[in-house]
Amino acid sequence: MVFRLSIFKYFLRFLLYNVVMDEKIFERVEKKYLISGKQKKALLSTIRKNMEKDDYFKSGIMNIYFDTDNYDLVIKSIDNPDFKEKVRARSYDGYDKVFLEIKTKLKECGNRVGHKRRFLISHSDFKELTSGKKTAVELASRKIETNSDIQIAKEIDYILNYFDLKPKILIYYKRESYVGENSLRITFDENLTYRNDNLSFVKKASDKRFFKDEKNIIMEVKTMGGMPLWLVSLLSKNKIYPVRFSKIGKIYELIRKEK
């Protein structure tokens, strides 16, 4: 599997740097922070003076992650390699669409640069994909929204088939998001829950809560370049520092302990 993932790394790197960018392909530096509700409140007064509410300011997000039966992709991700990738399906509360996504991260000059490539399908399409009735390319062909849709679908089909990936873990959280100049984006993710069975885009009473302590909010700063000085000063003043935190990685470790 290590050998296969190595080949896959260079295959995707080639694709990422030789694709025409559009609204369904994103590249940005990402930093994560674990904060408390009190710290969030202290940050928001300044953030709201310098940023605007996103068009989708508050949303509920549900992600279904694909992996092998042995969880090879998430295990590799936990090892913090120079290159890592995730394949997931994302849906938003009250929105009858699913984004099929390839999310990759590369270490560049000490930073994690994230690349996200995705296209839209319906919830019924997703069921056809996971049941094996349709391929991603067949689904993308039903309604082509951008020139990149078919290419992204081909990559997803290749990854799913090559590694024999299946839906393995579902993660749900509430998000609050702000946007600023120079593509600056700040999000706060709260009420993180998960399950690894009955993987449909429906919340269930049996979903398990992840956080047990005071620092239960994941703040993420995404930017195309460096952070503005006001934000650097704000984080320093409140003694908030970046951490390594992968939702899928941390939840996988919990699931492994539960067995």
Output the DSSP codes for 167-208. Answer: EEEEEEEEEEEEE-GGG-EEEEEEEEEEESSS-SSS--TTPE
Q: 61 near 89, Cβ under 8 Å?
A: no
pLDDT in tens, 188-211: 999 999 999 989 998 898 999 999
Is there a contact between 32 and 61 (Cβ–Cβ < 8 Å)? Answer: no
C-alpha span between 69 and 221 (Å, rounded): 32
- Both tokens of residue 166? 């299946």
Q: Which residue has the higher pLDDT, 6 or 183?
A: 183
Measured distance CA(208)–CA(156) in Å, rounded: 29
Q: Which CATH architecture has domain 2-258?
A: Alpha-Beta Barrel (3.20)
Burial call 115-148: b when 16+ CB within 10 Å, e when fewer: bbbbbbbeeebbeebbeeebbbbebbeeeeeeeb
> What are the φ/ψ torsions at residue 146 (nearest 5 degrees)?
-140, 165
Asked whether the beta carbons of 129 and 34 are under 8 A apart, the reply is: no
Q: Are 96 and 122 in contact (CB under 8 A)?
A: yes
Q: Which amino acid is at 69?
A: D
pTM, full prediction: 0.86
Condensed to tens digits (0 to 9), the pLDDT of residues 6-48 reads: 444 444 444 444 443 444 555 678 899 999 999 999 999 999 9
pLDDT digits 0-9 by tens, 214-251: 899 999 999 887 899 999 999 999 999 999 999 999 99
Q: What is the pLDDT of residue 257?
A: 86
Domain residue ranges in the chain: 2-258
Place of tokens 């620092």: 215
Specify the DSSP element, H or E, that contains 83. Answer: strand 83-92
